[in-house]
C-alpha cells in the first residue's frame, strides 16, 4: 500500500512539475525536502526524548496502574461479558491507560496480550468476537492526555502555545470514541437478532447479553 502511495506521490509531482510550471523550484524541492526532514528530526529529538523520560518515570511510579483502576468501571460497562478479574480485562485496562499516557511502546504489547486472552475466551476461532472488535475500536480512537510528539512538532514551527489545542483534542477524541463504540454496539445488536446467530449462541452456550 505505502509502496504505491509513495511512488504515486512522486510520479504525480513530476507530472505537475512538468505541466503546471515552476520547474526550477520543483527541481530543488527534492534536496530541500530531505534537508527539511532532517532539520525537523534534529529539532524534535530533544523534546521527544524528554517526554519519553517523563513517561518512564510515570510508568515506574505506577501511574498506569492508578489510571487502570480509575477506568475499570468504564471498561466493565463496555465489556460486560468479560469477567472482572480475568487476564483479558487486566491487559485491556492496562493497554487503555498506557495509551492515555502516550506510552505507545508499552501499549501495543499489552494490547496484543489482551487480544490473545480474548481469543482464548472466544469460541469463534478465526472470527473476531464482539469484545475484540470493540477493543480494537477503542485503540483506533487514540485517547491521549498529552500529545507530546504533536506538541514537539508544533513548537518547532513556532507555535506560541503548542498545547493550547488540548481541550479540542480531548473533545474530538471522546466524540470519535463514542461514535466508534456506537457503531460497534449497533452491529452487535443487529447481529444478535438474526436467527443463525441465535443458533450459534445456543450451540456455544453463550447467553451474555450486550448493552
Partner 1 sequence: MDLIVPLTVTAFVLFGLVKKVRVFDAFLCGAREGLNTVYTIAPTLVGLITAVFMLRTSGAFDFLTELISPVAEFLGFPPEIVPVALLRPVSGGGSTALLVGIFEDFGPDSFVGRIVSVMAGATETTFYAVAVYFSSAGIKKIRHTLIAGLVADFTAVVFSVLTVRLFLN
63-122: contacts with partner 1 (CB under 8 A): 63, 105, 108, 111-112, 115-116, 118-119
In the complex, minimum distance from the CB of residue 182 to partner 1, in angstroms, rounded to a whole number: 8
Which of 76, 121, 150, 201 forms a contact with partner 1 (CB under 8 A)?
Answer: 150
Cα radius of gyration (the chain): 23
Q: Mask of contacts with partner 1, 39-58, x by CB under 8 A?
A: -xx--xx--xxxxxxxxxxx
Binding positions for partner 1, 172-201, rule CB under 8 A? 172-173, 175-181, 183-184, 187
Quick one: 12 exposed, middle or buried, by C-beta within 10 A (0-12, 13-18, 19+)? exposed
Spell out the residues 6+ positions from residue 121 whose beta carbon is closer than 8 angstroms to its own: 82, 86, 88, 129, 131
Q: Which stretch binds partner 1 (CB under 8 A): 11-19, 67-75, 81-89, 196-204?
A: 11-19
Q: Which stretch binds partner 1 (CB under 8 A): 73-81, 86-94, 137-145, 196-204?
A: 137-145
Assess 160 for contact with partner 1 (CB under 8 A).
yes
Q: What CA–CA distance (Å, rounded) separates 8 from 4?
A: 6
Amino acid at each position: 500500500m505505502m509502496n504505491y502511495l509513495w511512488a504515486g506521490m512522486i510520479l504525480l509531482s513530476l507530472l505537475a512539475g512538468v505541466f503546471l510550471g515552476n520547474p526550477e523550484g520543483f527541481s530543488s524541492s527534492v534536496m530541500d525536502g530531505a534537508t527539511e526532514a532532517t532539520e525537523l528530526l534534529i529539532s524534535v529529538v530533544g523534546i521527544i526524548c524528554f517526554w519519553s523520560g517523563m513517561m518512564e518515570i510515570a510508568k515506574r511510579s505506577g501511574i498506569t496502574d492508578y489510571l487502570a483502576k480509575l477506568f475499570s468501571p468504564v471498561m466493565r460497562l463496555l465489556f460486560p461479558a468479560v469477567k472482572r478479574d480475568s487476564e483479558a480485562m487486566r491487559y485491556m485496562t492496562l493497554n487503555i491507560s498506557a495509551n492515555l499516557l502516550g506510552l505507545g511502546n508499552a501499549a501495543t504489547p499489552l494490547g496484543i496480550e489482551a487480544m490473545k486472552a480474548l481469543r482464548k475466551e472466544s469460541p469463534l476461532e478465526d472470527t473476531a468476537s464482539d469484545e475484540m472488535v470493540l477493543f480494537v475500536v477503542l485503540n483506533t480512537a487514540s485517547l491521549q492526555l498529552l500529545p507530546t510528539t504533536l506538541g514537539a512538532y508544533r513548537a518547532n514551527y513556532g507555535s506560541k502555545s503548542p498545547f493550547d489545542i488540548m481541550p479540542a483534542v480531548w473533545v474530538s477524541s471522546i466524540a470519535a470514541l463514542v461514535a466508534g463504540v456506537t457503531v460497534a454496539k449497533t452491529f452487535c445488536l443487529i447481529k444478535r437478532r438474526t436467527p443463525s446467530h441465535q443458533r450459534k449462541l445456543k450451540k456455544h452456550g453463550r447467553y451474555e447479553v450486550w448493552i
